[in-house]
A = this chain, B = another copy of it.
């Protein structure tokens, strides 16, 4: 549609001025878009760094207790999120380069357009004297200018929309990746059953296997062994003098029921 040709008439070159300045505003819009994307990239970078910090926090989670393996799930997930957002920042930085490149091209296009404008003005100056043709000439020239301005504007907006699509796609890709990380996190949390955690802890921190009465080999009841050792002549009161006592090794010369302290804290 010939929107510009239909709407920018009026007082002398007022319409021309508006269209000319609109073209120039295109350069501002390009710059502003680059600034907007730059700010977005900065936000993503900050977010990415925060996620790395969160991953570090998770990796510093206490390695003690049954809950410990869960921190690994948090750490992996946070690290991946940090990567997703870092990748988005990178894509946005690439986009800023594209926008700036377009901005440079745009300046060139406008410069050419200005040259043509000057030429048109010169050739038109020659016709000024032919007074009776001025009206028609003006209409024709104004129409041509409006059409050209509209073409430039359409190309500009097409380019800007293309750049915005790039922005949108990058965000969309990241959003999909982030969704996968969340899904993974959820799955990982579900997969780590409570039994798994209990078992893992029992295997890693277990103090002795084979509970008596399970049919498996009966564990050595160290208390009794110590008692037996204590009864032997070489045991004596040797360990008593030691300042540092290994737990459970401090009551050798006591009553034979050396297990008395074993359950003092039992529930």
Contact = CB atoms under 8 A, between A and B. Distances in A.
A36 B13 contact: no
Contacts of A171: 182
A157 to B, nearest CB: 4
A178 B84 CA distance: 15
Contact of A153 (B11, B15, B198): B198
B209 A6 contact: yes
Interface stretch (A92-100, A130-138, A229-237): A130-138
Contact of A2 (B7, B9, B149, B211): B211
A26 B158 contact: no
A207 B8 contact: yes
What secondary structure prevails in chain A residues at the interface with B?
A: helix
Given A12-B259, A32-B61, 6 more contacts: A11-B207, A22-B205, A70-B164, A116-B267, A121-B265, A157-B194
Interface of A: 1-18, 20-22, 25-26, 28-29, 32, 35-36, 39-40, 43, 46-47, 50-51, 53-54, 57-58, 61-62, 64-68, 70-71, 74, 113, 116-118, 120-121, 124-125, 128-129, 131, 134-135, 137-139, 141-145, 148-150, 153-154, 156-158, 160-161, 164-165, 168, 171-172, 175, 178-179, 182, 185-186, 189, 194-195, 197-199, 201-203, 205-214, 219, 221-224, 247-248, 255-267
